[in-house]
Every structure is written in C-alpha cells, then in structure tokens.
Amino acid sequence: MRYEHDGQRLHRQAGHALEEAHVLLNAGGFEGACNRAYYAMFDAAHAALLVTGVTVPDASPKKHRSLIASFGLN
C-alpha cells in the first residue's frame, strides 16, 4: 500500500531530523535544533496519519496548516 510506504519514509525522515536536532542542540545551535525538531514532529505527524489511512490535503511544506488540522480532527 502506498500510504504505508510513504508513512515509513516519513517516519525515517522524522528520526533523522530528530537526530540532527540533538546534534545541533549539543553544539549550541539552538535555532537549527528547533527547526529540525519542528520538522521531526511534522514528519512524524504526517506519517501517523498516512499509516492510519488518513489522507492529508495539500501537505506540502508550505501548507503545514492542512496537516495540523487533519491531525487534530483524527
């Protein structure tokens, strides 16, 4: 199923972003750490929706509002 494949990819991306956030935080890169932590959350939320079969309308990087709204409704 495509959603499972995309969900797994996004889950991996979230893990990588979280690892990067830890590295940046330990190096004193607070703004970069916040950025990577935000994208870890965004990708993890998107993955969670996809693996449960919820499609996210317009989940492009510039349309985070759609993902947040979909996550709040499901």
10-45, pLDDT tens digit by residue? 999 999 999 999 999 999 999 999 999 999 999 998
Q: pLDDT tier at 74 (50, 70, 90 boundaries)?
A: low
Instruction: Please give the structure tokens belonging to residue 42.
Output: 């965004």
Mean per-residue pLDDT of the chain: 85
Sequence-ordered list of residues with C-beta below 8 angstroms from that of 73, at least 6 positions apart, any chain: none
Residues 27 and 70: their CA atoms lie apart, in Å, by: 35
pLDDT exceeds 50 at position 49 = yes
Sequence-ordered list of residues with C-beta below 8 angstroms from that of 29, at least 6 positions apart, any chain: none
Contact 17, 37 (CB under 8 A): yes
Q: What is the pLDDT of residue 71?
A: 74
What residue spans define the domains of the chain?
A: 2-73
> What is the separation, in whole angstroms, between the first and last Cα of the chain?
20
